[in-house]
Amino acid sequence: MITLYGIEWSRAKYVLFTLAELGLDYQHVKINPFEDEKNALEYLQLNPLGQVPTLVDGDLVLTEAMAINFYLARKYGNGKLWINRLEAEALIYKWTFFAITQLEAACVDLILHRKVYDVKDRNIAIVREAEQKLVKPLRVLNEYLTGKDFLVADQFTVADINLAGVLSYAQGGEFDFSPYSKVAQYLGVVLSRPTYKKAVAG
Ligand X SMILES: N[C@@H](CCC(=O)N[C@@H](CS)C(=O)NCC(=O)O)C(=O)O
For position 51 contacting ligand X by CB under 6 A, the verdict is: yes
Q: Scanning residues 5 to 44, which ones bind ligand X (CB under 6 A)?
A: 10-11, 33
Task: Indicate the residue among 31 and 184 with the shorter CB distance to ligand X.
Answer: 31
Q: Which of 28, 50, 61, 129 binds ligand X (CB under 6 A)?
A: 50
The residue number whose beta carbon is nearest to ligand X equals: 51
Interacting residue with ligand X among 37, 64, 89, 131 (CB under 6 A): 64
Window of 50-58, 124-132, 134-142, 144-152 that interacts with ligand X by CB under 6 A: 50-58
Instruction: Name which of 107 and 187 has its Cβ closer to ligand X.
Output: 107
* Torsional sign, CA 187, 190, 192, 195: negative
Stretch that binds ligand X, among 51-59, 75-83, 170-178, 193-201 (CB under 6 A): 51-59
Closer Cβ to ligand X, 87 or 118, answer by number? 118
- Per CB under 6 A, residues contacting ligand X are 10-11, 33, 50-53, 64-65
